[in-house]
Copies of this chain bind each other. A is one copy, B any other.
Amino acid sequence: MCEATAYIAKSDGSEELLLEDVDIIEPQDDGQIRLVSIYGEQKMINAGIKSMSLVNHRVVFASA
């Protein structure tokens, strides 16, 4: 499966786990981003995409 792990980049340079096994990433009209895992778990985050490597299964967000 090709789901990814979503992290948020913190100001100290570390990364905090947001959600594992992410399938759907969908920016909303209000500026939030909706994440949905392959298990149907959903998270809304106030952040922008910082970088993404699909081959490495990593999506990193940065706080908006």
**A residues apposed to B, CB below 8 Å:** 1-4, 22-27, 38, 48-57
Chain B residues within an 8 Å CB radius of A49: 25, 27, 49
Chain A contact residues: helix, strand, loop or mixed: strand
What are 29 A-B interface contacts by the 8 Å CB criterion? A1-B55, A2-B2, A2-B4, A2-B54, A2-B55, A2-B57, A3-B54, A3-B55, A22-B54, A23-B53, A23-B54, A23-B55, A23-B56, A24-B51, A24-B52, A24-B53, A24-B54, A25-B49, A25-B52, A25-B54, A26-B50, A26-B51, A26-B52, A27-B48, A27-B49, A27-B51, A38-B55, A49-B49, A54-B54
